[in-house]
Every structure is written in structure tokens, then in C-alpha cells.
Chain A
Amino acid sequence: MSVALEPTTAHGNRPGVPGAPEPGKPTHSARGTAAGKAAAALRRTPIGVWIAAALLAFLVLAAVVPSLLLRQDPYIIDPAAAFTAPSAEHWFGTDQNGRDVFSRVVAGTGQSLLLGLAATAIGLVLGGLLGITAGVSGKWLDSAICRFVEILFAFPGLLLALIVIAVSGTGVVTAAIAVGVGTAPGYARMLRTQTLQVIDAPYVETALSLGRSRAHILWHTIVPNVIRPLFVLATLGVGQAIVWASSLSFLGLGAQPPAAEWGAMLADGRNYLQVAWWIAAFPGIFITLAALTTTLVGRHLQQRLEAEV
């Protein structure tokens, strides 16, 4: 990065040359450094993140165009082939009904990732509404929202999700909403803190002294700056949401058998763990992989953003 090229000093000022006009050193053009920076950033990306990104790309491919990877129909029952151990023909073996586990894992990717994304989005929107409102309104509304969020915090997130399901029944959509509600209090609290920081920033005051209206400042200065670091945080949340959604399916509260969903497959396979470990193990490994890769990539993006700001 260009910082490293400057002679080292404690503060970031460039060496100035009195006599010559100090601004506009023609050494590097704007776009040149931007491209160079991006290239340098890529070079510094650790190998672990590359592996995670590659695996994540595979998962996304499986989610978007499963037909590319499917080896056979994930729902075709073939009792003769039941409990086949992993082999060249059935990479991940077959389950108690002779269905190909690999194909079912691939087919389940879309649902699991979508659940994770949808749940995170729901959590963000709910949390954002609560947190930003609390942050900008202050006084009693802030206190009211804070107390409400604290009450939600008193319940473990998964319990909160279970309450939603108890009220509105099982199903994939409910599971997404349930997990979203479960994660909302965390987002609400983070967004409130972020909002309070942004509100006090000198650039908000500058906008005011430029004659901007309060509504304009709220929507064009405060909200974008509050949300900006959050996108990266959300990628961290997706991993967690996938695990939670799978947990709900595992408990029989999300996707229902025979749906090819990782959590449901895990629940299915646990009965045969002693005779056919692969039925449960591969969906389990994929849940772990999905959570790990999104978290790793998200963490890396977060560090990049923090280094930039």
C-alpha cells in the first residue's frame, strides 16, 4: 500500500517540500493507485481465505445451478441400493431409501443458503428499524426500544426462533422469519451504537451547517454511513443463520422430510449412524463448511474495510 512507501512517521502526513507548491504531487494518478492498491490487497489475501472463497463459490454454484452437479435425481428411491457406502458411483454413499447422498446434499445447498440469506436479511431489517430509530430519536423512545431489545436479549436466540414457530407453525418460510427474529436483537444493538457514533461525527454537523434539512441528513448522511459497515457484518451473520436454520430443520420445525435440506437430512441420518455414518456425516460437514466459509470470507472483508477506514 502507498502508506508503506512513505517514510515512516507517527502521523500520516506526507513529507512536504516547502518552496514547491505542496499539493498535487504528480507521482501517481488517482486511478493508478486505486488499481495498484486492489492488486496489492489481492496479493496479501491469506491462502485460507482463498480456499474458503473457492469452497463458497462451489456452494453458490450448487445453489444456483444444481443441475450442473447433480449425479442423479435426489428424490428417486431405490431400495436395492440402500445403505451403499461411499464409492465411485455414489460419492457420499446412499441413504436408507437408496437415494444418492451427494445429490441430496447438492440439492439442499440452495435451500440452506437461501434460508441463511433470507434470515439474515430479515434480522437486519428488523434490527435496523429498531436500532436506527432508537439511535436517532433519543429520549424516551430510545429507552423504550432499548428495554424491549434487552428483554429479547434475555432469551437465547434459538428460543426466540422457537417461540415464533410455536406461534405460526412449521415450514421453511417460518423458519427464515424465526431465525431472523432471533438474530434481530443483536443487530438492533449494533446499529444503535453505530448510529450514535455517526450522529456525533463532524461530517453530520458539516451537513447541517451547509444548510441541509434534518430529513436529508438522516437519509443521505446518517443512514448510509450506519449501514455501510453492516453489509460485511451481515456476511458473518449468514453462517450463523445457516446453522440455526439447519438446527430448526433438524428438530423437524423447518424444512420437512423428504425435502433435501441439510438439517432435515442430518435428522434423518442420525438413526443409522452406527450402520451408515455417511448419511448424517456429509450433510453435517456441509453445514459446517457453509458456516465456516461465509464466516472466514466475511471476517476477511471486515478486516479489509477496517483497514481502509
Chain B
Amino acid sequence: MGSTANTAKYDGGTSVTEAGAASAAATGSTGSGKSLLNIERLSVSFSTPRGRVDVVRDVSLALAPGKALALVGESGSGKTVTARTLVGLNAANARVTADRLEVLGRDALALSERQWRGVRGKEIGYVLQDALVSLDPLRTVGQEIDEALGAHGVRGKAERLERVHQALRDAGIPDPEVRARQRSGELSGGLRQRALIAQATVLNPQLVIADEPTTALDATVQAQILELLEGLKEQGRGLIFISHDLAVVGRLADEIAVMQGGRIVESGRASEVLANPQHEYTQALIDAIPSGAAKGTRLSAAGRATSSSAAVTTTANGTPAATSAAAPIERVRATEFSATAPALEARGLAKSYPGPGGIRRTVVHDVSFTLERGKTLGIVGESGSGKSTTARIALGLTQPDTGTVTLGGFAWAGAGSETVSEDERRRHRPDIQLVNQDPLSSFDPRFSVGKVVTDALDAGAIGTPRDRTTRALDLLAQVGLPASLFDRRPLTLSGGQRQRVAIARALALQPQVLLLDEPVSALDVSIQAQVLDLLADLQDQLGLSYLFISHDLGVIHHVSDHVLVMKDGRVVESGNADELFANPQTDYTRQLLAAVPELPARA
């Protein structure tokens, strides 16, 4: 399905608008012109065994019907806690205080749990974060939505079923009669998010709160969900949504409140805040967004202050030796990496897996690419496009059905008579290293940060155990991590720090090629900016070649010299990054690019 199907649903959905208008009229008692939300100096703190923790401080917000308010900020800035307070869903150890906390004309501070139950779902719809896990896997989508109706006393089986179908239809789900009988596992990410929105809106609430509604969705699906949320707004509902993605915010929000450390540091009309941010935190957030325009520039504020971030030591000759007084012990190389051959070259790769009913499902068709030395090749595609399988073949972890891969001129992987045995490949493994989306899962759970890096050095038989500790500290410094983290468990690090540890480990064996599989997808935008800056520095210093895989077109455009666009296992388009983004040749690439929300130009 594509966006066309979605638009058609909207055209057919005039009844939605009527229903919305009717509900607005019916609830006229609360006053349609009146503000849905009136919050002054809201503070939320949690009592923990170690004392009180203030999570939200002096937050004031207001929202009129038919408007959208975006709460923007990093993980831990208090956005989610603020939103949950508005539906009375805070943990038992939370203490909520406010000068005024009016939600839909009621004093929310005085509501009992029983009264809250009457409000939740019926008057305020709450779309939980993480569509992929918020639906009960054992119940059908229809049952999930029906529960909301039942809880608010809608009787009559036929009527409820009709309303469930209508809600699914309104949420842009095709064939609601079929989908209502399916379980969440049978739905795609986009459909699950739509089902959650249907659940939140089935009782026609005046206010809808959505927590990260588009996170983890592919660009085109994200665009469709944004369209759906926009529809809710047009029906006269108030919309509060939480996002760390300013591009998404720019598309949907009327008002923005930027939160940092539990406070609102800047708020105002969306267009003004985005075009002319006043607070340095807002500016940093906007600058951190990677896009083609920012190519070659530094994304993080720290990176811009000095030409290279303080933690990364750059030198004139740009060798890693510069980070330490002593030169690193060179790995004994099996064969010299060819100086003339491309760093990584794939020809005619294909891979299929046995599917249900004995039909083989081909996930990669005839994929070829060339990664030049010292350059970055970006592979972009949505989930299921075959980019991860391509990556696994390139890493020599999955055997291709046809085609060959060469690594620095060495026959690295192939099919049939050109099959390369693992014993053959093992000597060359250090030349290509992987950094994946979830670094934690790639660390042996028994290892400390230091052990993760020294173990990699040990694998390459680099130096004596003592040298390895010194070298590991150098590597940590090179990726901007302090020596004090050496004994820490990776579990206790932040997402950005973990990714830096993974990069340090990947560098330990002095590779030629780094395969970066969605390396920043799980990170907040400002941390993402720092990691992307770090990767750019390392490429400059060490002459690394990057195969960079991402679903995020902004990131791909920012980092890549060449780009490969994949869809359904095929290469749809490839070429120079700037040319491809400026002048896409295929409909699919155009569609992808159009789906990326863009920020208004900065003043």
C-alpha cells in the first residue's frame, strides 16, 4: 500500500469530520472556544530510596481546540512524565503540585482515581509510546478497541462492533472488518500505530495525547501517520504530542514547548520557534538535525566550537598514533590490503530463504556496489528492503546464493565455485568491522568497557596484555570517552557512550572498512549529532571506508559520498549523494524524499 490508498481513505471519510463536529457540539458545555488545557507551574517529583527527584519543574502550558502542541526534548527531559500527568497516570511515588492544573475545564489535582477512569479514553485519548509493543499480542485489535468502549459503558454488541470498524476506518486502516480480527503480530508497524490511534480516538475524545507517535517508523509510513494526526486536529480536537524529532514537530505543531531537565526552556508558535530559536538548547537541537544542507559541517555544538571535538585528538598526519606518546603496536596483517582495489566491492549478490508453502522468498536481488577507499557508501531503504541482509553478506556472515564480494581486492565471499571458506576469510576479518544499532547486544555480557576493547586487541594478538590496557585507554580517548569508564559495565552507560565503546572496539584491529548498520538510529538527535561528528573525524584521521546503512534519509545524505537506494531487495537507484538527492531519477526515491518532513528555513 502507498500513500495514495491512504488519501483515498481520507476522501471517503467525510463522516469522520461530521462525527468530530457532532462531538464538539455535544460537548459544547465545556465551551468550544475555551482552552482544553490550562497549566501553571506544574511540578512532578518522585520519591526514591535516595531522596526526592524533581522530574518536571514549573511547567506552564495551554492548548486551544483544533491546535497541536508539541513537547520537544531529549530522553529524560520530562516530556513523558508531563504527558502522563495530564491523564493521571503517574507512578504511586509521584508527587504532583501545580498552581493550576485544569484539563478540559476540570481541576485535575482534585480528581480521584475513579473520576480519572471516566476521563481517560472518553475525554482524553492517550496513544502510548512504542506502537510495536503497546498492543496485547494475545488479543485481536478489535478486542483491544472494544475494551475502551466497554469500559465507558457503551452497550449493544452490534453498535460496538460498528464503532470499532469505524474507528479503524477513520484511522486509515484498509479492510477494518478483517484487521479487527487480527492480532498485533499480524500487522505492520504502521498499521499497529494506526490501531493504537483508533483505540485512543474511538470515544471521540476532545484531547488526544500521543507519545512519540512516529518514532521507529519508516519515512513513508511516518508521513502517513502525521497526515492522520493532522486529520484529528482538523476535526477540532486538541492534540499534544511528544517528539524528539524536530522535523516531525515542524510539520504538525502549532505550538512548541522545548523541555530540558524538566523545565520549559523555550515555547511559542511553532513556526517562530523553529525559524528563529532563542534558547541555545533549541538552536543546538535544530543544528543537530543531519541533512544534505549540513553536509560536511559539524552537527554537535561541541564539534562546532573547536574544529574538532575536544575529546578527539587530530594531528597533521592524522594517524592514530597521535593519540598516544607510544606508537600503537601494528597488527600483523595476513596480506596487505590492496592499495588500488576498492575497499569493498559486491557484484550480483542474491539471497533467498525458504518461505511458507515451500516458496523461496528472495530478499536480495542482484545487488552490486563499490565502496571506494576512504569514502562512505550509504545504503538507504525501509524495513524489509534487504539492506540488513546485504550488510550480513558484506560482513561474510551470510553466504550469498550468487555473486561475489571482494574486500580490498581479496576474494571475501562468493557462491558456488567461488565460495570462500571461513578459515580463508578469518585472516582478513580484522579488515572489516561492524558497528550495529544496539551496541549493548554486541558486548559479551560478562565484560566491562575496558575488557570489551582489550578483548578485541587480544583477538588480533596485538601487543602484550599490558600494552593492550594502554592501547584500550588510547582507543577510548580517541572516541571521546574518559578513562574512568574503563571498569564500568556497558549496561550502566548511556546510549551514546555505548555506541562510542562499540566504535572503539571496531577500531581496535585497525580495520580498513567499517560497516555501520543503523549506528545512530536509537540515539537522541543531539547524541546522534556527536556520534556522526565522531565518525566523520575518524574517517578523516584514519582514512576509513564506511558502508553506512540507515533508514533515515537525512543521516544518509549527511554522511554519504555515494548512495544506494534499496526497495524490496533491489537497488532502485544509486549514484553520487548530492546529485541523487537533488535530482532523484526514480519515483520511489522521490516518494522517499517527499516523505521526509522538513524544517522551515532558519531566519
- A: residues with CB less than 8 A from B are 2, 4-16, 18-24, 26, 29-31, 33, 40, 43-44, 201-203, 205-214, 221, 224-225, 228, 308-309
Contacts and interface: CB of A to CB of B under 8 A. Distances in A.
A207 B434 CA distance: 11
Given A208-B397, A221-B444, A22 B129 contact: no
Contacts of B529: 18
B114 interface: no
Contacts of A19: 280-281, 284, 300-302
A5 to B, nearest CB: 6
B427 A211 contact: yes
B76 A15 contact: yes
Contacts of B480: 21, 23
A20 B305 CA distance: 10
Nearest to A203: B444
A210 B80 contact: no
Contacts of A206: 434, 442-443, 505
A15 to B, nearest CB: 3
Interface string B425-469: 011011011101010011111100000000110011000000000
B460 A211 contact: yes
B429 A208 contact: yes
A260 to B, nearest CB: 42
Interface in B322-343: none
Interface stretch (B162-170, B352-360, B491-499): B491-499
A208 to B, nearest CB: 7
A7 B436 CA distance: 27
B530 A8 contact: no
- Most interface-central of A5, A18, A205, A212 (chain B CB within 10 A): A18
20 contacts: A8-B81, A10-B129, A10-B211, A13-B495, A13-B523, A18-B300, A18-B301, A18-B527, A18-B530, A19-B301, A21-B530, A22-B494, A30-B484, A30-B488, A202-B441, A205-B442, A207-B444, A209-B434, A211-B429, A225-B446
A163 B483 CA distance: 59
Contact of A211 (B81, B285, B430, B441): B430
Contacts of A207: 444, 459
A19 B529 CA distance: 11
B460 A10 contact: no
- Main secondary structure, interface of A, reads loop
Interface centre among A15, A20, A228, A309 (most CB of B within 10 A): A15
Contact of B75 (A9, A209, A213): A9
A16 B49 contact: no
Contacts of A212: 459
Contacts of B75: 9, 11, 13-16
A203 B432 CA distance: 16
B488 A210 contact: no
Contacts of B262: 7
A46 to B, nearest CB: 15
A26 B74 CA distance: 20
Nearest to B530: A22
A48 B309 CA distance: 53
A7 B77 contact: yes
Contacts of A214: 422
B48 interface: yes
Contact of A309 (B281, B445, B486): B445
Given A11-B75, A203-B445, 14 more contacts: A7-B53, A8-B46, A14-B495, A15-B74, A16-B75, A19-B281, A22-B526, A23-B496, A26-B484, A40-B49, A205-B442, A209-B432, A210-B459, A211-B426
Contacts of B49: 4, 40, 43-44
A5 B53 CA distance: 7
B284 A18 contact: yes
A228 B446 contact: yes
Nearest to A309: B445
A24 B284 CA distance: 20
Contact of A21 (B76, B281, B302, B426): B302
Contact of B76 (A13, A26, A44, A308): A13
B497 A203 contact: no
Nearest to B430: A211
